[in-house]
Amino acid sequence: MEQKPPKIKLLDGFHKRTSEDQYSYLLRLASTMNHAAKLMQDERDKMVKLVETKEQQLEKQKLAMQANNDMVQRIVTQVNDEKQKMFDTIAERNTKIRELEAKLKEQEAGE
């Protein structure tokens, strides 16, 4: 469905004025409308720049956050590996202690 532009209400008595007055009035009206359109376009351009800047900031923060998360993940993995090695060492030493205790009991029993 085709939309029609709104009807412009002209100055009262517009049609009763001379052609030169009408022409002058229409020029001023057009100038005012062009100025308003320019102001709106300038505001739109500022908003577009602001949005672009914010998008760039968000992208940089996203990358920084990903790098931070990767670093944290590496550290957690490293700490977990170190803990596992420590638990393995403790388990080996406990096994060794039990073996030595068993040998000691055998030696005490043999004496």
Which residue type does 1 have? Answer: M
10-residue stretch averages of pLDDT, the chain, 111 residues long:
67 84 90 91 96 98 98 98 97 96 88 70
Which residue type does 99 have? Answer: E
- Report whether 22 contacts 14 (CB < 8 A): yes
Give the residue from 79, 57, 80, 60 showing the smallest Cα distance to 68.
Answer: 60
pLDDT of residue 9: 72
What are the respective helix, strand and coil percentages of the chain, to the nearest 5? 85, 0, 15
Tokens describing residue 44: 């739109």
pLDDT of residue 1: 55
Chain-centre distance of CA 62, in angstroms? 6
- Taking the model in full, what pTM does it have? 0.56
pLDDT of residue 6: 67
